[in-house]
Each structure stands twice: as C-alpha cells, then as structure tokens.
Structure 1
Amino acid sequence: MKALSLRELEAAARALLEPGIHDLFAGGSDDEVSLRANEDAFARVGLVPRVLRGRGAPRLDTELLGCRASMPIVLAPTAFHRLAHPEGERATARAAAAAGAIYTVSMASTTAIEDIAQAGGPLWFQLYLQPDRGFTEALVRRVEAAGCKALVVTVDSPVFGRRERDLRNGFMDLPAGMCCENMRPLGPNCERGPARSIAFSPTLSWADVDWLRELTSLPIALKGVLHPEDAKRALDSGVDALFVSNHGGRQLDTVPAPLELLPPIADAVGDRLPLVLDGGVRRGTDALKAFALGARAVAIGRPVLWGLAVGGEAGVAHVLTMLRSELERALALCGCGSADDASPELLHFSRWEPRWRTS
C-alpha cells in the first residue's frame, strides 16, 4: 500500500468513495467547528524531547478493561463499514485481531456481533442505552455471549446531531440489503428478526447507567464525557473507564477538542479511572501528546474507514501499522520507554495552557 500517512490514505479513500458516502463518514454537525478543532488542537501542542535517558526500545503493550493489547491505540466505534467495503466489519475485525488491537464494535454495525467475533481478537461493544430496557438487556446478553470484554456506552446523544452534509446529500437510510444488524432481535432458534432503528432518548440519565451496572458484570466505559463534574459523577456509578470524546464533532457543534478538555478530567478522576482520548488522532505524535495529558489510550475512528475503503482488511492493517510505527518513533525520540513515561514536561503549549494537577 502506497500511503505513507493517514492524510494520504484519507485522500485515496475520498477518491474511491461515492461523494455521499464520503461525506457520511467525514462530516460533522452544523458548521463543523468541532470537527476541525479536533485535529487542530494537536497542532497547537509541541513536543519538547528529553535526551540521553537510555530507556531502550519503547514498549507499547498494555492492558485496558481486562484486555491485553499490543498498543494503547483502540479502534473507536464507527458505523456502516459495509458502505466502505463489501466485507465491512469482518475485515476490520480481522485486521485488528492480527495487530492485537482492541476493536470497539459499533451498535450500528452492518455485520452482526456474532459474525464479527469470529475474528477472535479482543472486542468491546458500543451501546446506546435504549428506552426499551427489555431490548437493551437482550442485546447485552448477546454481546456477553459473543465474547465481548467491555461495554462502551455512548452518553452524548440524547438526540441526534444535525449533519448538514447528510441532509444535503439526501442520505436518510442504508441501501437495500443492508441494516444495523445488531438491532435485529434474536428469536429462540437464533434467527434474526427485522432490524429496528436505534432510539435516542432525552430522558437518558445516571439512573440508566446504574441500571446497566446492576445488569452486567462486564466493565463499562462511558463515551462522551467532557465535563469534569460528570467525570466525578461517573466515579460514583461504578463505571470502569471514560472516553473523553465529542463524538468526532458529529453531535453538538462548537464543543472544544477532547485534547483541550482532557487535563481537567484527568485532574478530576486522578488514577481512579483510565481515560481514552477519542477525537482527531492522526499521528503517533498525537497519541503521545494525549498520553502526556493523562490518557491511558487513544481511539481512532475515521482513519479505520479510510483504510477499509482503500484496501479492506489490508488497508485497516496498514493504518494500525503506520500508527504503531509512528508512536514507537515518537516515544523513542522523546526519551520514553513506554506511554506511561509521557508527562506534561514534554509539552509546549503555543495557544492554550490547560489546567494540570500539581500534586
């Protein structure tokens, strides 16, 4: 594969995808201020390397929510992979498994979780808590039976964001023969019934998280926590991790970049909850900056779709290989033996100075 960077891969995917499908994957909400901010935030933070530290070749292996992974780079939940490539989520799962990376399966995947799990790699499952608790419970049981190791509960979507690119392109539904396979209820003979739509509910509350915590023993991460007071509240709900995420700029526009909001959340929770930075990561140096500000891992979304569109399983594998290599190089050049060695002393802030704990 010729792409030397995720930027080049994105350009190649844009050339291959139908314009409406590209916009579906690439777009954000309203004026796309947050979408642009997610990547721009990383450019405003410089790296100040340490030298002569003798740390040796960096180690990237880690453990998150009970899963061993080859690197602290997680595949974020992204929907509709079969729109990018005929093999869809199966190809993504195989590439992630081969790389030893954790794949967070979207609730809106176009392949059923049981089929995705056949790839054999570590899987988490994204969950939108549904107003129909009976359906939610049945889906959680499916996910448990499929072998998923954690639930990633998206909490920033009480209503659906307004995505003007999709409205302009008239994208209202999946094409014939394709649906959100995890929204098909399973019958007594494991037959899949008609798919239902994912429901968004403005009544979603902490009580629903408490209910889910009682329902399952799987680790639970909340995705979309941006305010430090919400992070503190999460500590009381028995959740196991937080994704610091603005939904890729696809929900509420003008929300700051997750990188800018990461330090106060890290300050709020300390070492009590691992944080996953989700939004705008396009280089290994981006990941290193997130680790220095308190993240235990980063998540990548759109780059996976670009790789899938260009080369299927091999394209996703190329994305993971590039990021792994870039992160190893960045850590070595900054004198770090692992992501755990990254700290704020390696950073220079040109436009914004985040609050950081000093104790």
Structure 2
Amino acid sequence: MSESGERPALQSLPEGIVNLADFEAHAQACMTPSAWAYLNGGAADEQVMRANRAAWDALKLWPRVLRDLCGGHTRTSMFGKTWPTPLLLAPIAYQRLAHPDGELASAYAAAAQGAGMILSAQASVPMEAVARAMRQEPTSGPLWFQLYWRDDRGFMAELLQRVQSAGFEALVLTVDAPVQGARDRERRAGFQLPDDVRAVNLGGRKKPLDLAPGQSALFDGLMPRAATWSEIDWLRERSPLPLLLKGLCHPEDAREAMRRGVSGLVVSNHGGRTLDALPSTAELLPLLREVVGPDLPLLVDGGIRRGSDVLKALCLGADAVLLGRPYVHALATAGALGVAQALRLLRDEFEIAMALVGCRDVGEAGAHLLWPSRI
C-alpha cells in the first residue's frame, strides 16, 4: 500500500457470502496462523468472547405490528451531528496483518456505507491517509481516534495536535488495558509483528523499565506509567475534541467519568482480550445507562454479528454500536469491498429488524421492544 493513501484496488467477493459469519472461513484461509491468532483470539479460555455472543442471542425482541413505518430511517445524532447509521468500525490494531491496504481499505468502506470509524492508535496506516479517505465522502459517519495512554506528556501533546489537525472529530481513550491480557492462543502461535507492519502513528520507543532487584515488572514497572483519573483531566485540558472512555464496567467508574466531564462512554470488555472473567457487554449496557442517565452518549461493542443485535443494543440503551472482528474477516477476504459488503449486510439486517419489530427510527428503540418487557 502506498504511504500516500491511494484508493485501494477493488477485489471480487467469494460466492455465497450472505451474512457476516460467512466471511470467517475465507478470512482464515487468507491469513497466516500467527496473524489469525492475534486478530481473532481472546484472553485465557476465551470465555468472555463466547459470553458476549451468547448474551445477544439470549435477548428476544417483542414486535409491534400494523404500525405505519413510512419514512422510517436509521439516522442517529451525537455531539450535535447527524449520521446515516449508528454503525461504527471498532478500533482494531495492525489491520495490515489482514490485508495489505489495512485501515485505508476499512476507511473507504466505512465512508461509502455511511458508517463511522474509530482508528486505533496502533494503526498500520498513517492517520492522515485514513482521514482523507473518510472526508472524500460527505455522507460518511464519524471519524474518531482511539488512544492508549503513553507516559510521555510531550509525545501525547504532539499526538493530540496531529489528531486534531488531521480532522478527527473525537478522542476515545481505552481505559481497560493498562497491561495486556494473558492471550493463550496468541502465545501458542508465537505471534510477532512482521517487519513491514508497525504502529506508524506512534513514533519513538517506550522507555525501558528501570527496576530494582526484587521489583515486579508489572506493579513496579508498568503500572506507574498507566493512566489514572488525573490523565483524564489532562486530556480534556489539552484537546478541544470530545473525549470518550472505552472499557468502563463499574457504575462507580461511570459516575467518576461524568464528574470529570467526559463526553461519552464505550461499553466494552475489549472483545474478551483482557480479563477473561468479565460480564458481557449486553449485561453491562443497561446497568451503565441507568447510572449515566438518558443524555450521555453510550456506545457498545462485543459480539455484534447481526442487524438484530444492533437493534437489541439500542433497546438496551446504546446510541450506536461498534463492529469488531467481523469487519477484519471481511477485510482479509476482499479488502475494501469486503468491509463495505459487511457493513451493507449489517445495515440491511438492521433495517429489516426495525421494520419487523415496528420501529420507525432509532429514537423508538427501547426496553418495551424486548421480551420480557419492563413496562
């Protein structure tokens, strides 16, 4: 892929792809076993990965019939802007492991389908090229930048300025991964980044750990560098962009986030890649919505595979959903065209679910459309 961000060449789609799950087998055949283990694996026994999916399956919709749905739509609004759909691509690192065009292909696909994109700090394509791809389509969804905290405020200040100058509209700080989870599948595969894939937007090297004999590399080395609530204040002071926190699970943390003036939350358990003993995001979502009230933007990820899952998430209190591993499967299968097809399939299923449940727009989604209803 050109560093200039040239438009990716279109590939053909394999026959027989009619839903997001159909991409998975094709994707695995297109990737090395090591890359597949990294992008598709989870922590420890991968219980949280399975729980995320099972929780969406367990929810049932409770349709209303004979409703006038003429003029219905999927538009959603956040931060004073309206977008065509409540679908965003989740931040996933090193997408050139899946396809040579990487995040650039994902950006063109998202823009073409009116979806949003959250670019990972560990993207393998320059952020400016991704931003240009999204801006070329006036009806694209939001473009946000995901951050991991780095204990170098000079570097962080420069990164924030670069993000704003490139045209990103919000910051998403991941707060649930101060250290990496114990990813057995990834370790068994001996995963290492290939020489031609790196986090191109993160310059320099992390400072080496300076440990005294007997000190813990984790508690004495890594954790003193991790973000705390004071870093949330620092980020809000340094950037005018809305700041969302991704990965909160506990109501008290949600309350503290609101006290600190954050702009929104992403309900996430990191796709099951950190701690393999967490609630599913479908379980967490209504709890956190109750805590933060009706106005703070809430997004959710983890196990979204069907358009009906999107509707269920909105009924539980989400304003939008993030699609994760399935779009990487689509990227590996057919590049930009694959991701665009995955988003189109998901949006079509979402519209079908809305129509069949009697929901004219996203504002009409609520707990009354879930069985058993809490009316």
Task: Indicate which of 105, 110, 116 corresponds to 1:91.
Answer: 105
- Write the distance in 1 (CA, Å) between the matches of 2:79 and 2:174: 17
Answering whether residue 149 of structure 2 is matched by residue 129 of structure 1, we say yes
1:174-212 CA-to-partner distances (Å, cap 9, x unmatched) read 11122101102xxxxxxxxx5659996454211110111
List runs of 5+ in structure 2 lacking aligned partners: 1-12, 136-141, 209-220
8 Å CA contact 1:231–1:268 kept in 2: the answer is yes
Residue of structure 1 equivalent to 2:177:
157
Q: Tell me: CA distance 1:155–1:39, structure 2 relative to 1, closer, same or farther (3 Å).
A: same
8 Å CA contact 2:110–2:134 kept in 1: the answer is no
8 Å CA contact 1:130–1:201 kept in 2: the answer is no
Task: Indicate which of 20, 23, 48 corresponds to 1:9.
Answer: 23
For residue 183 of structure 1, give the secondary structure of its aligned residue in structure 2.
Answer: coil
Residue of structure 2 equivalent to 1:271:
294
1:145-200 CA-to-partner distances (Å, cap 9, x unmatched) read 100000011000121111111110111x311122101102xxxxxxxxx5659996
Instruction: Tell me the amino acid that sits aligned with residue 177 of structure 2.
Output: S
For residue 201 of structure 2, give the secondary structure of its aligned residue in structure 1.
Answer: helix
Counterparts of residues 20-31 of structure 1 (less than 5 Å): 20-31=34-45
8 Å CA contact 1:74–1:297 kept in 2: the answer is yes
Residue of structure 2 equivalent to 1:48:
62
Residue of structure 2 equivalent to 1:70:
84
When the two chains are superposed, the root-mean-square deviation of aligned CA atoms in Å is 1.9
Instruction: Tell me the amino acid that sits aligned with residue 88 of structure 2.
Output: V
TM-score by length of 1: 0.91
Instruction: Tell me the amino acid that sits aligned with residue 134 of structure 1.
Output: G
Residue of structure 2 equivalent to 1:183:
202
Task: Indicate which of 312, 320, 329 corresponds to 2:352.
Answer: 329
Q: Tell me: CA distance 1:60–1:200, structure 2 relative to 1, closer, same or farther (3 Å).
A: farther
Q: Which moved more, 1:14-23 or 1:126-135?
A: 14-23
Task: Indicate which of 170, 174, 179 corresponds to 2:193.
Answer: 174
1:69-102 CA-to-partner distances (Å, cap 9, x unmatched) read 2100111100111111111111111111111211
1:245-281 CA-to-partner distances (Å, cap 9, x unmatched) read 0000000112011111111100001123111011110
1:57 CA displacement: 4.8
TM-score by length of 2: 0.87
Counterparts of residues 1-359 of structure 1 (less than 5 Å): 1=13, 2=15, 3-121=17-135, 122-171=142-191, 173-184=192-203, 194=204, 201=223, 203-348=226-371
List runs of 5+ in structure 1 lacking aligned partners: 185-193
Paired residue total: 342
Instruction: Tell me the amino acid that sits aligned with residue 362 of structure 2.
Output: A
- Write the distance in 2 (CA, Å) between the matches of 1:271 and 1:201: 34
Q: Which moved more, 1:199-208 or 1:255-264?
A: 199-208
Instruction: Tell me the amino acid that sits aligned with residue 104 of structure 2.
Output: R
For residue 248 of structure 1, give the secondary structure of its aligned residue in structure 2.
Answer: helix
Instruction: Tell me the amino acid that sits aligned with residue 63 of structure 1.
Output: S
Residue of structure 1 equivalent to 2:3:
none
- Write the distance in 1 (CA, Å) between the matches of 2:222 and 2:133: 30
